[in-house]
């Protein structure tokens, strides 16, 4: 149990108001408080009674009562005699009701919910996260009143409360009885005023934003332009997909750049892919040609799909890109993704291109076309660009039994760049053999951390 939550529960038991005892805007603080109070009451019973002894008040229920009750009493620990009249029950002090809502005894939790149901809406609202937690309670006499109370309170919840309440509900959804609270919150959000939903869309909790944007798309809460802007800007991949779907749903032949441009210019590949696919619905397939050499495989595939839907073969376009004066870095790999084995000759020429990105993608394309040749690729292990060497090593791994071990071992020398040494060692490990342990012993104190760590790991295995 987190010491922060334990301290919060102890402060609450000592009489500190709820808003001062915990950070009421943090969903984790609410679920942590629920656990901490139960743990304190069960295993460390001293903190909660401290406040009771100091004030002369305590939560109790008569042993012969038909139903438990939340009865703050001015009496001591002894039960009153049967013929004594029951003292008038004052209202619980502010920290007592949150404690009772988290108590390990289900009778006290049930009684606390009855108390909460009688509170005015402004007084009840700060307690709604705990009421939501009780909606997933294992005890049916507790969770059913909690659900009734939450259902009645949700229509009046404002933007400030709905954010933390939704976050708490999403955290308890995985519990055995937690789905009911989520269903109620989702139903309330579908009917909620715009400002209530807007408050969730800017929250820092990803799960909250995901739910809010799903409902916003269902309600068509924003225009396609607004959804496109959100998809292009939000860092969360799930939100990007949701908002991109909302934007693309509004794309048609009359759609202008205000929807498509934010998607097509997004730094996130999944958003660009959605924008490229939307070009088909917008009747603008020609613009997909500009994304054939995108750095993302997903975007390239979407561009090829759009062009093929309008009868355009993409392999000739890639050949033109690879044979031109200025070759886009990803064009060789795009050619391999849709080309034929005969295109390998063009890719071999590009392994000598001055741009390292073109060389690296050319090697990757050769591997994709299954057109690699160990003898021709071996000199690329000395390429000055680390990306080219990485792709070359990946392509050479199936050829390790035919590579000259002496040439690989020579590249382990400290006169070679780091990426060359690391690549050579990877190929030697893939080759195996009795000499490998001797090579590893020579590198266990090497100045290069990766070589040192890999050598030691291999010797331990």
How many structural domains comprise the chain? 1
What's the DSSP call for residue 408? Answer: H
In a domain, 402, yes or no: yes
CB 447: neighbour CB atoms within 10 A?
Answer: 9
Residues 6 or more apart whose Cβ sits within 8 Å of residue 187: none
What's 261-314 look like in SS3?
HHHHCCCCHHHHHHHHHHHHHCCCHHHHHHHCCCCCHHHHHHHHHHHHHCCCCC
Cβ density class 91-109: b for 16+ within 10 Å, e for less? ebebbbbbbbbbbebbbbb
CATH of the domain at 417: 1.25.10
pLDDT digits (tens, 9 = 90+) for 172-221: 999 999 999 999 999 999 999 999 999 999 999 999 999 999 999 999 99
In a domain, 396, yes or no: yes
pLDDT digits (tens, 9 = 90+) for 145-164: 999 999 999 999 999 899 99
pLDDT digits (tens, 9 = 90+) for 331-364: 999 999 999 999 999 999 999 999 999 999 999 9
In a domain, 435, yes or no: yes
- In this predicted structure, the answer to whether residue 13 has a pLDDT above a threshold of 60 is yes
pLDDT value at residue 94: 60
Range of 439's domain? 372-461
In a domain, 82, yes or no: no
Nearest to 245 by CA among 267, 213, 208, 200: 213
Specify the pTM: 0.80
Nearest to 429 by CA among 381, 397, 452: 397
Residues 6 or more apart whose Cβ sits within 8 Å of residue 342: none
In a domain, 453, yes or no: yes
pLDDT digits (tens, 9 = 90+) for 30-89: 999 999 988 887 765 544 433 343 333 444 444 333 333 344 443 444 444 445 544 444
pLDDT digits (tens, 9 = 90+) for 406-457: 999 999 999 999 999 999 999 999 988 888 888 889 999 889 999 999 899 8
């Amino acid at each position: 149990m987190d010491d922060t939550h334990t301290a919060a529960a102890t402060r609450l038991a000592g009489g500190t108001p709820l808003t001062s005892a915990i950070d009421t805007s943090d969903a984790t603080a609410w679920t942590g408080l629920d656990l901490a109070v139960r743990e304190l009451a069960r295993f460390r019973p001293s903190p909660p009674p401290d406040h009771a002894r100091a004030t002369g008040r305590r939560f109790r229920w008569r042993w012969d009562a038909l139903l438990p009750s939340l009865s703050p009493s001015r009496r001591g620990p002894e039960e009153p005699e049967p013929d004594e009249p029951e003292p008038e029950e004052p209202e619980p002090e502010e920290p007592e009701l949150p404690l009772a809502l988290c108590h390990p005894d289900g009778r006290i939790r049930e009684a606390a919910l009855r108390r909460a149901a009688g509170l005015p809406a402004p007084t009840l609202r700060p307690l709604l996260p705990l009421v939501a937690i009780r909606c997933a309670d294992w005890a049916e006499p507790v969770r059913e009143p909690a659900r009734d109370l939450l259902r009645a309170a949700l229509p009046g919840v404002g933007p400030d409360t709905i954010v933390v309440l939704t976050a708490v509900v999403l955290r308890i959804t995985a519990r055995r009885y937690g789905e009911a609270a989520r269903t109620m919150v989702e139903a309330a959000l579908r009917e909620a005023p715009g400002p209530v939903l807007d408050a969730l869309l800017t929250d820092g909790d990803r799960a909250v934003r995901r739910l809010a944007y799903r409902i916003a798309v269902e309600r068509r809460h924003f225009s396609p332009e607004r959804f496109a802007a959100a998809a292009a800007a939000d860092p969360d991949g799930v939100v990007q997909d949701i908002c991109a779907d909302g934007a693309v749903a509004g794309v048609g032949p009359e759609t202008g750049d205000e929807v498509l441009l934010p998607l097509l210019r997004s730094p996130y590949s999944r958003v660009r892919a959605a924008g490229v696919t939307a070009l088909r619905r917008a009747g603008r397939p020609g613009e997909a040609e500009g994304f054939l050499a995108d750095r993302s495989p997903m975007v390239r595939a979407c561009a090829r799909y759009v062009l093929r839907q309008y009868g355009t073969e993409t392999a000739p376009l890639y050949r033109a890109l690879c044979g031109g004066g200025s070759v886009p870095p990803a064009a060789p790999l795009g050619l391999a993704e849709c080309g034929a084995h005969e295109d390998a000759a063009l890719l071999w020429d590009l392994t000598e291109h001055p741009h390292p990105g073109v060389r690296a993608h050319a090697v990757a394309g050769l591997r994709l076309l299954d057109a690699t040749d160990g003898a021709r690729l071996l000199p690329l292990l000395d390429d000055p660009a680390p990306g080219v060497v990485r792709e070359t090593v990946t392509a050479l791994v199936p050829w390790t039994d035919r590579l000259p071990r002496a040439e690989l071992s020579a590249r382990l020398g400290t006169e070679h760049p780091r990426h060359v040494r690391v690549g050579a060692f990877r190929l030697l490990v893939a080759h195996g053999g009795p000499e490998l342990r001797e090579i590893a012993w020579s590198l266990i104190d090497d100045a290069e951390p990766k070589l040192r760590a890999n050598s030691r790991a291999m010797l331990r295995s």
